[in-house]
Structures are given as C-alpha cells and as structure tokens.
C-alpha cells in the first residue's frame, strides 16, 4: 500500500519501534529470561525484521488515514497510540514464525478469526489487524511461499475458505499487493470462473423469464381468441333467437285467431327451435 505519511511521521515510527524493542528486551531481562532477551535482541537487529515492522505500521496507518477511520490529527504516541502499536509489532514479529500463507491461516483459525468477505458483524477486523501486523512485504513473501496445491487447499477447507481470506487481503487490506504469486494467480482464476458462472446463471434466469413471459402472452392470446369466439356465438344465438321469436310471434297471432284456446310454446331442442301447440308441432331448422 502506498504510504501517505510525511517524513517526520516516518521518523517517528522508526523511533517508536526502537524504543519498543529496547523496552521489550529490558522486560525480558527483568523477568530473568536472559536467553529469550538475547534471542529477541538478535532477531530485532536484523534489517529484514526492522523493515517488516516499519512497513506493517506504515500500511495500517496509511489505510486509516486514507479512509479516515480514526478522528486523529497527527501521529504521535499520545494521539494515535503509536507507542503501543510499536510495542505490539515488536512482540508479534519476535514470537510468531510464519513459513507460508497456510501458517497465517492456521494462526487465524486457532484464534477463531472471521474470514468471510463482506461480514457485517465484525467486518473481519481481527483478521484485518493480523494482516496489518504482517505487513504487505512479508504477506507477499508468505503468498509466494504457498503453493496452491490441492492438498493444502483441502487441509484448510474445513476451517474456512482460503479464497475468502485472500479476497479480504487483496480487496481490503492490501489493494496494491502484487498478483504474481501462485496463490494470487489461482485467486484470479477462481474469480473469473465465478464471474462466468454468475453470467451463465443470469443468462439462464433471463431466458427463463422470457420463456414465462412468452407463455403468458400465448395464454392471453388463446383466452382472447376463446372470448372472441364465445362473443361471436352469443351474438349469433341472440340474432337467431330474435329472428325465430319474430316468426313464432307471427304464427302465434295467426293460430290464435283461427284456433281459440290453443297454447303455443317455443323451445330449443338441440340446434333447432320447435313451435308447439295443442294440436301440432312445427320444427324451425337452424
């Protein structure tokens, strides 16, 4: 991650790291653990460790300064807790020994750190803080030392998804981390596969929606045809009824004059209309 700190702030970080290292060694000597104190002194005298501690603090502070995570105005031991941060880095780098990225995952799992990308409960802060302690340079070395073999991936599959942990590191903690390590390349391949899978699911869903819309339109069209046919049949039936009713009325008037007391009825029998009286039956064909 690119540093957004000024030169005086970088000098202050180096000064606090040295003071924290001396304090930790004195504490060990005061406890009578001179062997451990000598080991720590020898470990902290190496330039790679000093650089890793400095880069890890710079990366964390730069992140918070860029995203305005804390309402601070300056980086001093009192306002930001730089002294305690430096002391924490000294203890971390002298007590923890990671050989590869898998060791980092095991360390996080033993402490039950959440590595679910986008978690809205803890925001993966414990794991993010662990990654900030490691720093971008050492993290890149750990990733380079971890081969994305099936054995290693299967070993940690029951713990959590290494994909999720590495996604947090790449997208949140160290966005500018080099992508040339084997594990990062594997992550890019998985990302591409998941994007392709999401694209196919989206296309399949869109095709299903289109098919349902077309089927619904076809059903509406069929219902409209059935309705039109029913309306047409009803109109024809009403016209026929009016026409036959007129004929029946004329016949009724005629036969009522000639045959007093005849009861004349008009009813439907199948497709025909039948005119009945007491003496005869007249069938009016359709």
The Cα 121–Cα 92 span in angstroms is: 26
- Is the pLDDT higher at 209 or at 92? 209
Tens digit of each residue's pLDDT (9 = 90 or more) over 238-273: 787 777 667 666 666 665 555 444 555 666 666 666
Our CA dihedral for 79, 84, 86, 92, rounded to 10 degrees, sits at -150
Position 275 scores a pLDDT of 63
Cβ neighbours, 10 Å, residue 169: 24
CA pair distance 111, 108, nearest whole angstrom: 5
CB distance 64 to 73 below 8 Å: no
Q: How far, in Å, CA of 215 to CA of 6, rounded? A: 66
- The DSSP output letter for 80 is T
Phi, then psi, of 174 in degrees rounded to 5? -130, 80
pLDDT band (50, 70, 90) for residue 210: very high
Domain limits, the chain: 1-95, 99-178, 196-284
CB-based contact 146:186 (threshold 8 Å): no
Asked if pLDDT for residue 20 goes beyond 60, the answer is yes
pLDDT band at 2 (very low <50, low <70, confident <90, very high): very low
Q: What is the pLDDT of residues 176-200, one digit of tens each?
A: 888 888 888 888 888 888 889 889 9
Distance CA 16, CA 22 (A): 10
Task: Say whether pTM exceeds 0.85.
Answer: no
């Amino acid at each position: 991650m690119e540093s957004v700190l000024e030169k005086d702030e970088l000098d202050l970080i180096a000064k606090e790291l040295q003071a924290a290292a001396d304090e930790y060694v004195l504490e060990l000597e005061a406890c009578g653990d001179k062997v451990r104190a000598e080991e720590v002194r020898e470990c902290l005298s190496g330039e790679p460790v000093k650089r890793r501690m400095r880069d890890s603090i710079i990366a964390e502070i730069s992140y918070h300064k860029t995203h305005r995570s804390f309402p601070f105005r300056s980086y001093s031991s009192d306002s930001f807790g730089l002294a305690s941060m430096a002391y924490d880095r000294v203890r971390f780098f002298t007590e923890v020994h990671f050989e590869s990225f898998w060791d980092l995952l095991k360390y996080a799992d033993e402490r039950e750190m959440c590595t679910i990308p986008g978690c809205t409960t803890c925001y993966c802060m414990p794991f993010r803080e662990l990654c900030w302690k490691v720093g971008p340079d050492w993290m890149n070395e750990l990733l380079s030392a971890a081969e994305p073999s099936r054995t290693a991936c299967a070993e940690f599959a029951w713990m959590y998804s290494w994909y999720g942990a590495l996604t947090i590191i790449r997208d949140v903690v160290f966005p500018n981390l080099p992508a040339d390590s084997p594990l990062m390349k594997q992550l890019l391949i998985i990302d591409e596969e998941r994007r392709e899978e999401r694209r196919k699911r989206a296309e399949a869903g869109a095709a299903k929606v289109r098919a349902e819309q077309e089927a619904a339109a076809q059903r509406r069209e069929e219902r409209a045809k059935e309705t039109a046919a029913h309306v047409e049949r009803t109109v024809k039936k009403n016209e026929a009824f009016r026409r036959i009713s007129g004929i029946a009325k004329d016949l009724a008037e005629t036969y009522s004059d000639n045959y007093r007391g005849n009861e004349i009825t008009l009813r439907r029998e199948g497709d025909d209309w039948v005119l009945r009286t007491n003496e005869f039956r007249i069938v009016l064909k359709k």
